[in-house]
A and B are shown apart, each in its own frame.
Chain A
Amino acid sequence: MGVKYEIKNGVLTAHINPEHDLEDIQEVAKIVENHGEVILIRVDMHRCSYIQSRFLAGLVSVKKLAMVRKITIELLNVNDHITQVLQSTNLQKLFVLKDDYSSYPLEALCEKFYDTEKAAIVSEYLSANYDDDIKNKLIEIIHAGNPLLVEYALLTMGRAQDYDNIEIYRKELEANEASVKAAAILVLGWVGDTQSKERLYSYLTSKEINVPEAAAASIALLSDDTDSEKLAKYLRDEDARIRVVAIYALSLINDTKAFEYLAEAIKEEKEEQVRIQLAKKIALFKDERAGRILLELLDDGSIPLREAAASGLARKNNGEFTDILVDKVADNDNWVGFFAAKSLAGIEDERVIKKLEGFYDSVEQNVKLAIIEVLGKCKGVDAAFLLSKIEDENEDIRKEALNSLSLMHAPVALTAAMKLYNTDNSWLVRYKAVNIILEQKPLGYDTLLRARLKDETNKYILEHIIGEIGE
């Protein structure tokens, strides 16, 4: 039957269909043998809903040839059924599985808008490759009116910054389906249609799914000096959902006025869920007052709010609140302690480092893990503390200690990794050790890794090593 193929820049792409058999894949092997320039084989299976078992056997023989020639094999667009076959036959580790949307005709790509998992990825692909054919097809889809397709047609045109079809987007604001309406609202924001901004305000109070959130996002994108004030009125709406939408919009505007409205709102807001949203969004402001507000919230009576505040601080501590935060590491809520520890990443104060090490024995496992992670990001940390943890009985502690060592004391970490790769009974630790060995690639690293392959029982480690250095 023959496999269609092409070779370009050392890449051999073979187009497979379900009827292809052993002889066909053997033909691919012959092509590889005859073309010394091939460095990558791409087996495109987008037409295959199934494959012949003999074809699979042939693929393994091509893989063996590729290993000898140090050629990578990628299997493109493998469907779930064939993936399951590869998994159940333990062959998946031999190949790199990838999606490549350039294999598909435009019509088939647009059909993928039906697929909830793939729609966004395909939309991004189409917007990155936007041309008149794609544009015309998307307009055709919009005119046909199937809401599932229209939603992603609009989003694709918006992502491609297609300014020529603003009237189409405006018209879809009247769509009967919330998903289409929300897409049109977002796209009008993306293409900067300031003329539509006032109209978008009317969607902020919509009860429809995602519509107010989309309106908030677009109003923020189209905002000028007057919008923070307009949006702040919604912070007093009796509907908590609308208040959360306004918080979202103000956080996206992210100017001083917007910050002040949110700072005021958190003093007055009574509902816990809305306060949590306020804490999360306040953490996104660079305003120096934001940290102090979050710090005050650490003493609130609500545990979820304290955790949200601590999480926010973990992303914004610049050293100003270090003394307070380091004490919070031993907080009676272990997630507050966890985030407080994380907020100290990058601190170079020896006193703080000693305090963290001092807290270590008295805190919960998750806080211990955060402390070890943070110590890997603090200059001046002694390797001895971390080294002592690679003997811990908890596998996550050993793994995290190994990781932190690798960030601060690479040679020490390598020695530890080479030992743990051979001796640790946890696959998580051995996997991390393999990563460190592969990152540092000491002389003979491949021999070291290969030597243990026959005793290695963990499939993830086997796949990882074989994928990197071959069998």
Chain B
Amino acid sequence: MLINSIKINDQEFVELKDIIYQNSGIMFAENKKYLLENRLSKRLSDLNFTTFKDYIYYLKYDIKKRQELDTLINLVTINETYFLRERGQLDYLISHIVPELIKAGKRSIKIWSAPCSTGEEPYSISILLKNAGLFDKANIEIIATDINSEVVALAKKGEYRQASFRGVPADFMKNFDVQGQSYFIKEELKRHVRFNTGNITTPSIVSMIGKVDVIFCRNVLIYFDMDGKQRTIKNFHNMLTDPGYLCLGHSETLNKISDEFVMKNAGTCIIYLKKQ
């Protein structure tokens, strides 16, 4: 919010996107210039650079270039997410889903966050469950997977920057230890989350994760074609227990993808229930 964006010119954009492509396989289209400017301006400023050309030379000629390349790839390829994102569903999980499962006699509950990216979603769930005292009432396990092993490694580390705390209430920060510019999730919250690398569209994910009570799969389906969406939802259906809950992103729907779920209006959000 407070950093002035450094503009990237056409030649710099082409050179930088090639470096990113050669090192990550991810290609930035012309209309994504703003994304590189947004995500990298602060880094350039920290390194005293005022142009992207200078930064490109730093990536090529500095003795710490390998390390900087890792920093660059992390900054530009990790989809930005944040704690308590689309909070309505998280609150519903805490206020209704988990208490109802416990009331129905469940002593062991599994919640799956997929893909988990850098861990903000599963840790948000862990924090809310802890604050509501629900870890004391049942054996609750949060499983978190992502196809990208590097983001899983970052998630396991549990270190976050300010961008991950968009819109969180002030008292939420008590769940973190501050070290310089970094915020580390407290160990007592970390231990409830188990991280894995896995692809949600493949059938092998079903045996890898096993049966789960709740699935959070938000803002991902939109990137799949119809076949990919159907395969993923089929996997989810096979994995969910009865009752089983599926949380999608606020702009996503199962319309024309699956008729094996019932849509439930959960106050400020939508939850899908597996048909029994």
Given contacts A148-B167, A177-B169, A210-B162, contact A83 B31 (CB under 8 A): yes
Which label, helix, strand, loop or mixed, suits the secondary structure of the B interface?
helix
Is the Cβ of B31 less than 8 Å from the Cβ of A176?
A: no
* B168 interface neighbour in A92, A177, A217, A365, Cβ under 8 Å: A177
Known contacts A116-B163, A177-B170, A209-B162; A83/B61 CB under 8 A: no
Taking a contact as CB atoms under 8 Å apart, the answer to whether A117 and B38 are in contact is yes
Stretch at the interface among A165-173, A178-186, A354-362, A409-417: A178-186
A146 to B87, CA, bound (A): 9
Q: Are A97 and B170 in touch, CB under 8 angstroms?
A: no
Assess whether B62 is interfacial by the CB under 8 Å rule: yes
Contact with A along B135-156 (1 / 0, CB 8 A): 0000000000000000000000
Cα(A308)–Cα(B82), bound, Å: 32
A179 to B170, CA, bound (A): 10
Q: Which A residues are in CB contact (< 8 Å) with B169?
A: 147, 176-177
B132 within 8 A of A: no
The reply to whether B34 and A121 contact each other, CB–CB distance below 8 Å, is yes
* Selected contact of B225 from candidates A50, A114, A310, A335, CB within 8 Å: A50
* Contact mask for chain B residues 148-179; partner A; CB cutoff 8 A; 1 contact, 0 none: 00000000000000110111111001000000
CB nearest to B166 among chain A residues: A179
B1 at the interface (CB under 8 A from A): yes
Looking at the assembled complex, report how far the CB atom of B217 sits from the nearest CB atom of chain A, in whole angstroms: 16
**In the complex, A183→B163 CA distance in Å?**
14
Stretch at the interface among B11-19, B186-194, B198-206: B11-19
Complex: chain B residue closest to A209, CB-CB: B162
Is residue B27 contacting chain A, with contact meaning CB distance below 8 A? Answer: yes
Q: How far is the CB of A399 from chain B (nearest CB, A)?
A: 9
In the complex, whether A151 has a CB less than 8 A from a CB of chain B is yes
The interface residues of chain B lying within 8 Å CB-to-CB of A366 are 57-58, 61-62
Q: Give Cα A92–Cα B31 distance, bound, in whole angstroms.
A: 11
Q: Say whether A44 faces chain B, with CB atoms less than 8 Å apart.
A: no
Instruction: Give chain B's interface residue range (CB within 8 Å of chain A).
Output: 35 or more
Among A87, A116, A209, residue most surrounded by chain B Cβ atoms (within 10 Å):
A209
Q: A13 CA to B162 CA in the complex, in Å?
A: 41
Stretch at the interface among A73-81, A135-143, A320-328: A73-81
Report yes or no: B31 in contact with A178, Cβ–Cβ below 8 A: no
Residues of A within 8 A of B62 (CB): 335, 366
Contact A210 B2 (CB under 8 A): yes
Q: With contacts A178-B168, A365-B61 known, is A79 near B222, CB below 8 A?
A: yes
A229 to B62 Cα, complex, angstroms: 41
> Chain B residues near A282 (CB, 8 Å)?
none
Indicate whether A213 reaches chain B with its CB closer than 8 angstroms: yes
**Segment among A125-133, A192-200, A260-268, A428-436 that sits at the interface with chain B:** A428-436
Which residues of the other chain, B, contact A310 by a CB distance below 8 angstroms?
48
B2 close to A214 (CB less than 8 A): yes
Inter-chain CA distance A460–B12, complex, in Å, is 12
Does more than half of chain A's interface fall in helix, strand or loop, or is it mixed? helix
- Flag if A96 contacts B30 (CB, 8 Å): yes
Is A392 part of the contact surface with B, judged by Cβ < 8 Å? no
Interface residues of B in 49-103 (CB under 8 A from A): 49-50, 54, 57-58, 60-62, 80, 82, 86
A99 at the interface (CB under 8 A from B): yes
Known contacts being A81-B223, A176-B169, is A460 close to B14, with CB within 8 Å?
Answer: yes
Please give the distance in Å from A249's CB to the nearest CB on chain B: 12
A49 to chain B minimum Cβ distance, whole angstroms, is 6
| Contact flags B22-42 to A (C-beta < 8 A → 1, else 0) | 000001011100110010000
Q: Are A432 and B2 neighbours in the complex by a CB distance under 8 Å?
A: no
Are A308 and B48 in contact, with the CB atoms below 8 A?
A: yes
Chain B min CB distance to A200 (Å): 14
Q: How far is the CA of A428 from the CA of B53 in the complex (A)?
A: 13
Q: Would you call B11 and A97 a contact (CB within 8 A)?
A: no
Residues of A within 8 A of B224 (CB): 81
A96 CB contacts on chain B under 8 angstroms: 30
Residues of B near A78 (CB, < 8 A) are: 31
Residues of A close to B170: CB separation below 8 A: 176-178, 208
A24 interfacial by beta-carbon distance below 8 Å = no
Report the bound CA distance from A98 to B29 in whole Å: 10
Q: Are B57 and A178 in contact (CB under 8 A)?
A: no
**Which residue of A is nearest B162, CB measured?**
A209
Seen from chain B, the residues whose Cβ lies within 8 Å of a Cβ on chain A are 1-2, 10-11, 14-15, 18, 27, 29-31, 34-35, 38, 48-50, 54, 57-58, 60-62, 80, 82, 86, 162-163, 165-170, 173, 222-226, 250-251
**Besides the known contacts A121-B34, A396-B57, 4 further A-B residue pairs in the complex with CB atoms under 8 A apart:** A81-B225, A116-B166, A208-B173, A214-B1
- Complex A-B: 5 CB contacts under 8 Å: A116-B163, A121-B34, A146-B167, A178-B168, A365-B60
> 5 tightest A-B contacts by CB?
A311-B48, A147-B167, A97-B31, A366-B61, A148-B167
Residues of A at the B interface (CB closer than 8 Å) are 49-50, 78-81, 83, 86-87, 92, 96-99, 111, 114, 116-117, 120-121, 146-148, 151, 155, 176-180, 182-183, 186, 207-210, 213-214, 217, 280, 307-308, 310-311, 315, 335, 338-339, 364-366, 369, 396, 428, 431-432, 435, 460, 464
